[in-house]
Amino acid sequence: MNHTGILTFLFIDVEAKQRQIITDACVAGSGYSLHSVQMNFLQKKPVFPSEKNFDYIVLHADTLQEINHKIMALLSFYKKAKTILLCNNSDDFFTMQLFPWFFVLRYSHIAQDCVALKEKLQYLYEKEECYYFQHPDTQRKLRIQDIYFIECNKNYLYINGLENCWKDRATIKYAQNALSVYGYLLINRGVMVNPLYIENIRGNQITMQNQRILYISRGRKKEVYQKCRLHIAGV
């Protein structure tokens, strides 16, 4: 979330009535004001807004295939925004529930689903999205969005960002409990990654956006590919 006291939204192919219902749910209880931008993705040459620090991207799509197409195009522009999917098809709604980094709403039940969305977001507003160090030296917490991946070596975690690395005396199980709810994936017995910062996947090799190369174990490969296919082109 930005720190200007404003929640920023990018609405893509969402009608005015639905925009109002969704923003009411997201802003309630946050203490933030609202700024929103609309764009039409379905036009021949969609123009992406120049600003990139959106808190939420709200996508409306008729089919899962259309959702996939839009997400692939958008993720390279807006990597840190939370994504809200507005689905026309109830089957797609239940399929997308498998991906914890999305909030999913049904077009036909938008008011009902926004009640649940509001409850989830109020919980997140009250609980700051941070990794809390078990054995802090100079700091006690780290913003979730600053973590690219975590490696475990014996009794220590090495928490990697774009350029920095932080050390914590904790287990990979502790990292799983802290980060799985935010969509982080265990790719082998000692490494967790943030799928938002994966540049590409080839075979059992993951290249992160900071150019670090990590490896998927044979036993984790199917799940990693399944959960990353909406984030990474070619998966």
Give me the CATH topology for the region 6-126: Rossmann fold (3.40.50)
Q: How many whole angstroms separate alpha carbon 216 and alpha carbon 187?
A: 5
Strand partners, 167: 158
What DSSP letter does each residue of 171-186 carry, written as one string? -HHHHHHHHGGGT-EE
Question: Nearest to residue 7, comparing CAs of 16, 18, 15, 22?
Answer: 22
**pLDDT at residue 98, rounded to an integer:** 58
Of residues 189 and 121, the one with the higher pLDDT is: 189
The residue written with tokens 């006291």 in the block is 5
Of residues 6 and 38, the one with the higher pLDDT is: 38
Q: How many whole angstroms separate alpha carbon 74 and alpha carbon 67?
A: 11
N- to C-terminal Cα separation, the chain: 28
What is the mean pLDDT of the segment spanning 188-215? 92
**pLDDT at residue 4, rounded to an integer:** 43
12-16, 98-102, 106-110, 170-174: the lowest-pLDDT one:
98-102
42-56, 66-80, 144-158: the lowest-pLDDT one:
66-80
Question: Nearest to residue 84, comparing CAs of 69, 72, 67?
Answer: 67
Residue extents of the structural domains in the chain: 6-126, 130-228
> Do residues 27 and 36 touch, judged by C-beta distance below 8 A?
no
Quick check: 188 pLDDT over 80? yes
What superfamily would CATH give domain 130-228? LytTr DNA-binding domain (2.40.50.1020)
pLDDT band at 172 (very low <50, low <70, confident <90, very high): very high
Question: Nearest to residue 12, comparing CAs of 77, 75, 70?
Answer: 70
Q: What is the pLDDT of residues 94-110, one digit of tens each?
A: 666 656 667 888 888 89
> Do residues 84 and 56 touch, judged by C-beta distance below 8 A?
yes
| Pairing of β 149-153 and β 141-143 | unpaired
What DSSP letter does each residue of 44-65 carry, written as one string? SSPPPPS----SEEEEEESSHH
**pLDDT at residue 3, rounded to an integer:** 42
Of residues 235 and 154, the one with the higher pLDDT is: 154
